[in-house]
Amino acid sequence: MRKEPSYQEIMAERAEVMKASVGIDYARYATGALAFDYERLLADTGYDIETASEVQARTAVGATPLVELTNLTELVRATAGPGKGARIFVKDEAANPSGSFKDRRASLSVHEARRRGYPGVAAATSGNYGAAVASQAAKARLACVIVQEAFDSAGLAQPEIAEKTRACEGYGAEVIRLSVGPEIFYVFLRVLKETGFFNASLYTPYSVLGIETLGFELAEQVRARTGRYPDVVIATHAGGGNVTGTARGLRKAGALETEMVAASVDLSGLSMASDRDFNRKSFTTGHTGFAVPFTTWPDRADVPRNAARPLRYMDRFVTVTQGEVFYATQVLAELEGLQRGPAGNTSLAAAFDIARNLDEDQIVVVQETEYTGAGKHPLAQLNLARRLGIEVRRGDPRENKPGSRIVIPEHPSQIRAVEVDLDRIRRAYLKNALGSLPEGTRLSAADLEFLAAETRSNQAYVERILDELAKTG
């Protein structure tokens, strides 16, 4: 009987496995101890906006409708001051083949896998991206393996993840379901090594470039409809690709003054690696358990360097509560006739408050929707919460406590988007950057310039914070 390789053996081969599975020599783009040429990495793929759009159109991805939420805007204005309450639009990404914007990410990865002659694609994901990869692989007639972190040690599956299992299998993919923990990285590396499949990671340049078309389309559609670019675009933020790709697409369309807002569900106090907390979060993505770690250190990804760099692109970072997202989901259904899932509705909840504080002639765009179904519906999430002993009630959403209490607003005026201190995030990023280096490493001018770009600041700021960190240890 063949002995299975140990965790240590597989992890020791990580660099070689990753290089073979994505076909990218990341070392070519390193320009310093920390500095890395992300623009050249993206450019070398050969996918500009036009090329990416053409690839996506072949599999019915993209060109999704822009919908004005007139009834919801009216509700917001009813809670706003005189002359306040911006127009709210939503980009209905649920119109994509598998029901979310993740089809844009998957389309270029699967196209690249087929172009390079890989026998199949693999991805480690518990959410919409797995269904997107499986859907695109089916169209390309490629084999597909999805590795999921699906349930806790008691075998209890989060309903949204269970629904994604069914969706992936429905597209013909093989799904490997695991309990929460570090074994997912070991299993995923083994899959890549043993199958020779393409790594359709969320964090490759293909994934980010696929989302650029979303930002570009959005800007063009708003300008065609209203004669101007949007004032604010809100993107639900988890691993960073959504914010990065959308902001880059907006810029390429010429929407240089549009404010980019990242929005996440506040799950403070819950550990994403905790077996106890795994099913207590109610949301599989778009929450602070991913957003904060990936903003303060993007390279915790499953590829050597993450092409998503959210801190470079966000103007604001806000959070909303679990109850506010459930409320926004129901309001969207009852006022606009759109039943959509929680990912995009995280941004929609933030839009309530952000639009309330803007003038009536201004424009806010919720950048995506996702399909909903039995596992994604609020009732499924709330029933699981009650089963786990979490209190669910109506009231002031400020009383929400992740993992213990979900408080659904009684009135839309109670919804508030809470600002995350970006300076604190920048400091955390710089601390992680320093911590990634061998002791005694000296930073070059290229490294300092890189860190200034990474934190959307300047070299003087970087040097000041690095000096403070050195003094405090």
Residue range 15-32: average pLDDT? Answer: 93
Q: What is the pLDDT of residue 145?
A: 98
Residue range 330-341: average pLDDT? Answer: 97
Q: Which of 336, 321, 322, 256 has the alpha carbon at shortest distance from 89?
A: 336
Residue range 375-379: average pLDDT? Answer: 89
User: In the numeric block, which tokens belong to residue 249?
Assistant: 């697409």
Which residues, at least 6 apart from 468, have a Cβ–Cβ distance to it below 8 Å?
Answer: none
The rounded distance, in Å, linking the Cα atoms of 11 and 325 is 38
Residue range 80-92: average pLDDT? Answer: 98
Q: What is the pLDDT of residue 79?
A: 95
Same fold, 7-34+100-201 and 52-99+206-419: yes
Higher pLDDT among residues 8 and 147, named by residue = 147
Residue range 113-137: average pLDDT? Answer: 96
- Per DSSP, the three-state class of 67 is strand
Q: What is the pLDDT of residue 362?
A: 98
pLDDT tens per residue, range 187-241: 999 999 999 999 999 999 999 999 999 999 999 999 999 999 999 999 999 999 9
pLDDT tens per residue, range 228-253: 999 999 999 999 999 999 999 999 99
Judged against a pLDDT cut of 70, whether residue 471 lies above it is answered with: yes
Residue range 323-352: average pLDDT? Answer: 97
Q: What is the pLDDT of residue 473?
A: 66
The rounded distance, in Å, linking the Cα atoms of 219 and 68 is 14
Q: What is the pLDDT of residue 379?
A: 92
> Residue 2: pLDDT band by 50, 70, 90 thresholds?
low
Residue range 121-134: average pLDDT? Answer: 95
Q: What is the pLDDT of residue 228?
A: 98
Question: C-alpha distances in angstroms, 324 versus 60, 88, 234, 243, 398?
Answer: 33, 17, 16, 21, 10
Half-sphere exposure of residue 96, counting CA atoms within 13 Å on the CB side? 32
What would be the CATH architecture of the domain defined by 52-99+206-419? Answer: 3-Layer(aba) Sandwich (3.40)
The rounded distance, in Å, linking the Cα atoms of 287 and 276 is 17
β-pairing, 418-419 with 316-320? antiparallel
Q: Which of 140, 336, 94, 298 has the alpha carbon at shortest distance from 208?
A: 298
Residue range 422-443: average pLDDT? Answer: 95
Helices then strands, each counted (H, E), the chain: 18, 13
Asked whether the beta carbons of 407 and 308 are under 8 A apart, the reply is no
Percent of the chain with pLDDT over 70: 99
Domain ranges in the chain are: 7-34+100-201, 52-99+206-419, 424-472
The rounded distance, in Å, linking the Cα atoms of 358 and 81 is 10
Q: What's the full length of the chain, in residues?
A: 473
Question: C-alpha distances in angstroms, 159 versus 86, 263, 312?
Answer: 35, 23, 34
Q: How many CB atoms lie within 10 A of CB 4?
A: 9
User: In the numeric block, which tokens belong to residue 168?
Assistant: 């992936």
DSSP classification of residue 375: T
Helix (H), strand (E) at residue 92: none
pLDDT tens per residue, range 271-324: 888 889 989 988 888 999 999 999 999 999 889 999 999 999 999 999 999 999
Half-sphere exposure of residue 158, counting CA atoms within 13 Å on the CB side? 27
Helices in 388-444 by DSSP H: which ranges? 422-435
> Residue 184: pLDDT band by 50, 70, 90 thresholds?
confident
Dihedral sign for Cα 262, 263, 265, 268, please.
positive
Half-sphere exposure of residue 323, counting CA atoms within 13 Å on the CB side? 26
Residue range 137-152: average pLDDT? Answer: 96
DSSP classification of residue 287: B
> Residue 440: pLDDT band by 50, 70, 90 thresholds?
confident
What would be the CATH architecture of the domain defined by 7-34+100-201? Answer: 3-Layer(aba) Sandwich (3.40)
The rounded distance, in Å, linking the Cα atoms of 133 and 173 is 9
Q: Which residue reads 């390309």 in tokens? A: 140
The rounded distance, in Å, linking the Cα atoms of 110 and 105 is 9
Asked whether the beta carbons of 257 and 223 are under 8 A apart, the reply is no
Predicted model pTM: 0.96
Residue range 58-63: average pLDDT? Answer: 98
Residue range 155-168: average pLDDT? Answer: 91
